């Protein structure tokens, strides 16, 4: 079983002014795909809080995967990629490239995503879109391949080549 942490970045969600549908979608799909959700939290769009939560989930909870949702756009309050960059030790740029490429087939606005991804220790961290619909579409597209990346990261698999 794979372990997962979910972080929703939303001022309104944190204040209780909006339901966090994206985080719920992520949890639902991940559970169906063999992930145990170890932590799910809604935080305001504050870089230090987001950064500290990613460090906590990675270093203390030792989750295999952290999926963030929200905070990747052009608003001055959108700081999830910056928080992620402060946490990761190695970039995994192919993941957000794949997400944007796939999402561009659905909406050209995907080009406005500033999402990133990377590795901290043995934890993969991926910034997801903020909309529930986009989260569902993207997870359906990438989640099985992320499992393979996690297996390699944990040392459970050594090959990326398909047989």
Would you write out the chain's pLDDT as a tens digit for each of its 163 residues?
A: 999 999 999 999 999 999 999 999 999 999 999 999 999 999 999 999 999 999 999 999 999 999 999 999 999 999 999 999 999 999 999 999 999 999 999 999 999 999 999 999 999 999 999 999 999 999 999 999 999 999 999 998 766 655 5
pLDDT at position 158 is 66
pTM over the 0.85 mark: yes
The class that CATH gives domain 2-140 is alpha beta
pLDDT at position 156 is 87
| Residue 109, phi then psi, degrees to nearest 5 | -65, -15
pLDDT at position 64 is 98
Burial bucket for residue 37 (CB in 10 Å: 0-12, 13-18, 19+):
middle
For strands 65-69 and 123-128, give the pairing. Answer: parallel
Every domain of the chain and the residues it spans: 2-140
Q: Which helix (H) or strand (E) holds 35?
A: strand 35-43
């Amino acid at each position: 079983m794979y372990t997962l942490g979910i972080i929703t970045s939303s001022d309104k969600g944190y204040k209780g002014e909006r339901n966090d549908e994206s985080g719920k979608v992520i949890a639902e799909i991940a559970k169906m795909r063999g992930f145990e959700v170890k932590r799910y939290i809604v935080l305001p769009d504050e870089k230090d809080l987001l950064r500290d939560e990613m460090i906590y989930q990675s270093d203390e909870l030792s989750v295999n995967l952290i999926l963030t949702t929200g905070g990747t756009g052009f608003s001055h309050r959108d700081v999830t990629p910056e928080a992620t960059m402060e946490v990761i030790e190695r970039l995994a740029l192919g993941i957000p490239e794949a997400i944007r490429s796939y999402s561009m087939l659905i909406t050209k606005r995907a080009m406005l995503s500033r999402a990133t991804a990377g590795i901290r220790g043995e934890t993969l961290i991926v910034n997801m879109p903020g909309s529930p619909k986009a989260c569902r579409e993207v997870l359906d597209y990438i989640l099985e391949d992320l499992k393979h990346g996690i297996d390699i990261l944990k040392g459970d698999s050594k090959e990326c080549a398909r047989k």
